[in-house]
Structure 1
Amino acid sequence: MEKACIYSLATALPDRIVTNDDMAKIVDTSDEWIFSHTGIRERRHVEEDQAASDLGIEAGREALLQARRNGGIEADAIDLVICATSTSDYPNFPATACIIQDALDLPNAGAFDLLAGCTGFVYGLETARAYVEAGLARNVLLVGTEVLSKLSNMKDRNTCVLFGDGAGAVVLGPPSPPAERDPNDGLAGGRPQILSSWLRSRGSGAEALLRRAGGTRNPYVEGKTDAADLTLEMNGRDVYMFAVDAIVQTIKQLLEQSGLAIGGISRIVPHQANVRIIEAAAKRLRVPAELFFTNIDRYANTSAASIPLALHDMITQGLITPGETILTVGFGAGLTYGGNVIRW
């Protein structure tokens, strides 16, 4: 069976840049403390009237334009919209994917949200690939969009400094006849294919990263629910230990099942959670930390948007060329983890 291709890659970021010094005006912290512990210098925050779908629509619209140029894919040939997000416009329903589908005028598309925390885009790539290669959808628009600033507890210095807002989107479809590659096509002239994926969950760690109230386990009760329980809560030590192990295990599994050696990998694109996690994983794998691409200093942790944002930056910096093999690695709430092997 022929592998599905990625025909576009687009991103969207809020205009507002929030530096570590800005965060120090909100909570008891400093630029030196945040950077030394996380590698973060700044992040983007949406405005009060912006939601996850707004960023997703912006990224999705550009991804569709690229897909039309690169693969002749028209809007009415998009059969499915998948939105990977933990920060949906509304609690539980409707799906943010449905809002994006309507705004982009995709009349033939089904739509659903995919909730896998910061591993969302990794899960989404494999899900979209499976739909295309099984013949269940001609083309799929995958969007990863997050506005974590609105779910952060701005009184908790251990978490609020870690997160930012952003979105990324791709269109996947079946292979088309080879065309002349354009280095300005948004994909560095490549026609990426997902060669292999590996997805896992460790549900025993569910309470390491969660919003404690507002769901059916602990519904909101006026006058009783603590406002802090409606925001993001994280056990930093447990998440750190899990994340390092998840990166190492995922990379080993991807290499083994794909028959590849680490020397055949041009770059590893991890979820951008904390540069110290990435450095620890690189040390355990005995590979140079430089093999891992990072841009967390500019965007902080954007959850399901972090990997497409990283891939986009790599393209604009000339760090990806056609024919190279890269690994993506995600880990996040659930706990979930996994990765993809992509031949560019």
Structure 2
Amino acid sequence: MTFSSIHITGIGGYLPERIMSNAELENLVDTTDDWIRERTGIQQRHIIGADQMTSDMAVEAAGIALADAGITIDDIDALIVATTTPDLIFPSTATVVQSKLGGKGFPAWDIQAVCSGFVYGLAQAEGMMRGGMFKRVLLIGAEAMSRIVDWKDRGTCILFGDGAGAVVLEAGAPDAENGMIGSVLHADGSYRDLLKAHHPHPPSSPELHHEMHHEAADFSIDSAGAAAVEMKGNEVFRVAVTKLGDVVKEILAKHELNGSDIDWLVPHQANIRIIQATAKKLKMDLDRVALTVSKHGNTSSASVPLALNDLYVNGRLEKGQLILLEAFAGGFAWGANLVRWSK
């Protein structure tokens, strides 16, 4: 059996209770609220609790999405978690989430494409569902980025926040005119040194001879682990603007659409200037762009579903609207999805 239509039938988001303002960051590193706002558009970010893990945030978002779809975990055929900050090296965070939700038996796995993880996951799920492998898939983007930033590096610690977003995808639902339209994905590993989180002793390195632990610790500027985000900001910005512009043109051309056909742009929330540049290439006003970067910061793979959820919970999505999701990530990896809203 194959399915001709794939729909988002449930959506949910979760943000940790703790909010870190730019003013608080002024006490940690040499920066100012004005500088952060001007360069990134970020005003605040949410920080995971000391007793929480990535899987805990994923479970919260997933529970909301399942309830929104009117189903339970027992109705799910597969579970995918997009994350760069897993609970453990193995097993996958998806299996942890599955267990915490009370699910058993169905396949569960992680996908790692950093900030593009949700976009990659959506493309992967759509392809598998169209082929008839699954009817209902729970897709989650969840990140505890605060656990891997260097809180003494003012160039990166100001950017990231924590959170989770989730969607339920259902194949073969009525309303075949709407739903998933298609995706475009790319990667180029030659750029990997421009944006990375490098561990001095990665799991596959011969230098790693000590026992590795992953423990939730009280947050402080010293709480970052050995893996810390490193970024060459100016170079990343230039490539991101170019690649996102290209992938937007590619996916529109592939489906014989124009920028004027897009009702909502749901971009990765990395930097307001990158978002503005992409919207300009599409000739879109910012009032047609989902914007959460000021409130959330960069939540990596959780960014796109959280931005989509923000539109949804505020009643801004209407049935039949055309939505373009796009993201750019370390690797570099980038991609876009087209969805005609059907809820």
Residue 206 of structure 1 pairs with residue 199 of structure 2:
no
Residue 181 (structure 2) aligns with: 195
Alignment check: 8 A CA contact 1:205 1:335 kept: yes
Percent identity between the two aligned chains: 38
- Mean Cα deviation higher: 112-121 or 313-322: 313-322
Residue 265 (structure 1) aligns with: 262
1: CA distance between counterparts of 2:190 and 2:293? 28
3-state DSSP of counterpart to 2:243? helix
The one-letter amino acid paired with 1:42 is Q
Deviation at 1:177, TM superposition (A): 4.3
3-state DSSP of counterpart to 1:157? coil
- Mean Cα deviation higher: 283-292 or 256-265: 283-292
Deviation at 1:320, TM superposition (A): 1.3
**TM-score, normalisation: structure 1:** 0.89
What per-residue deviation string (whole Å, max 9, x for no partner) do you get for residues 11-66 of structure 1?
A: 11100010000111111111001001100000000111211101001111221222
- From 32, 38, 42, the equivalent of 1:40 is 42
Alignment check: 8 A CA contact 1:6 1:192 kept: no
The one-letter amino acid paired with 1:267 is W
- Mean Cα deviation higher: 279-288 or 250-259: 279-288
What per-residue deviation string (whole Å, max 9, x for no partner) do you get for residues 81-103 of structure 1?
A: 1000001112x311100100111
Residue 217 (structure 2) aligns with: none
- From 2, 8, 11, the equivalent of 2:10 is 8
Residue 185 (structure 1) aligns with: none
Q: Which residues of 2 match residues 6-155 of structure 1 at below 5 A?
A: 6-67=8-69, 69=70, 73-90=71-88, 92-155=89-152
Alignment check: 8 A CA contact 2:82 2:121 kept: yes
3-state DSSP of counterpart to 1:146? strand
3-state DSSP of counterpart to 1:10? strand
- Structure 2 unaligned residues grouped into runs of 5+: 211-223
Change (3 A) 1:78 1:228: closer
Residue 339 (structure 1) aligns with: 336
The one-letter amino acid paired with 1:210 is K
Deviation at 1:313, TM superposition (A): 1.1
Deviation at 1:139, TM superposition (A): 1.2
- Mean Cα deviation higher: 210-219 or 257-266: 210-219
The one-letter amino acid paired with 2:47 is H
Deviation at 1:217, TM superposition (A): 4.6
Alignment check: 8 A CA contact 2:322 2:340 kept: yes
3-state DSSP of counterpart to 1:159? coil
Count of residues in correspondence between the two structures: 324
Alignment check: 8 A CA contact 1:76 1:108 kept: no
- Mean Cα deviation higher: 169-178 or 144-153: 169-178
3-state DSSP of counterpart to 2:52? coil
- From 248, 268, 272, the equivalent of 1:251 is 248
What per-residue deviation string (whole Å, max 9, x for no partner) do you get for residues 178-206 of structure 1?
A: 6xxxxxxxxxxxx9611010000011111
**TM-score, normalisation: structure 2:** 0.89
- From 298, 302, 305, the equivalent of 1:305 is 302
1: CA distance between counterparts of 2:59 and 2:225? 30
1: CA distance between counterparts of 2:273 and 2:174? 43
Structure 1 runs of 4+ aligned residues shifted over 6 Å read none
Alignment check: 8 A CA contact 2:11 2:66 kept: no
2: CA distance between counterparts of 1:330 and 1:220? 33
